[in-house]
Amino acid sequence: MQQPLIIPFPTPAGGVEIPYLPPLLGGLTGMTLMGVAGPPVTIEAWTYPDEIRDPPFWKAVTYPHEVQEALRLTRTDTTVAASHIGVLMGGSALPPTLTAGGSLPVNLAAGQMMYALIVLDAPGTLTVTFDQDIQDANLNVLPAVDLRQTLASPTLEPGSVTVSGEAPAGTYYAEIYAVTAVAGGTLTLTVN
């Protein structure tokens, strides 16, 4: 499940450090950072060097970033707007990646949800089609850093659901929720 981490104000000088703790203690275990939307936030990970004699240091993360260490968040922008950090929760495995012209098999039990990661290298018209009827499953395409907005409303066609829209380069999720069990479905991505 994806949740936004919201940073509404500038951080204190030096940033805010978040320790890496087990999940029962409110830690970061099982999180994957997907990117930042809104005013910029620098996210750094506590990194151990290759040489044992060298001290650990803070290093900027690249996305997606599976959290396995303490983090430091720094926001200096004073704009009256919230920064949204896309955070994938619930396990260390990243969702399967769907590339232009590619497809993924979909088999879900009733009530189960699946995410596919879409990386769009250049802006274009992104079209995601799920070849099952809307009575069986629902499809949304969401920017990875801000789940409050969807790319476009689904278009219902006989036996399939399509989401299409102009999209800037970036990372997106195709989110499928199975109302009833889905077997033998296919998720397809095209970019024009």
Query: 166 CB contacts (<8 Å, ≥6 apart)?
Result: 123, 124, 125, 126
Question: Mean pLDDT across the chain, nearest whole number?
Answer: 76
Contact 142, 82 (CB under 8 A): no
- The pLDDT of residue 147 is 47
pLDDT of residue 174: 77
The pLDDT of residue 42: 95
76 band by pLDDT with thresholds 50, 70 and 90? very high
For residues 42-65, average pLDDT: 82
- CA distance linking residue 99 with residue 53, whole number of Å: 42
Q: What is the pLDDT of residues 124-159, one digit of tens each?
A: 788 888 887 656 666 777 665 554 455 655 666 656
Let me know: does 85 contact 4? Beta carbons within 8 Å. yes
| For range 119-127, the mean pLDDT | 77
According to the model, what pLDDT value does residue 151 have? Answer: 60
Tokens of 4: 């936004």
Q: Where in the chain is the domain with CATH 2.60.120.380?
A: 97-191
pLDDT value of residue 6: 86
Can you give the pTM of this predicted structure? Answer: 0.51
CATH of domain 97-191: 2.60.120.380
User: What's the rounded Cα separation, in Å, for the pair 167 and 118?
Assistant: 11
Q: Is the pLDDT of residue 105 over 60?
A: yes
pLDDT (0 to 100) of residue 165: 75
Distance of alpha carbon 33 from alpha carbon 35, whole angstroms: 6
Is residue 39 over pLDDT 80? yes
The H or E element that residue 178 is part of is strand 170-178
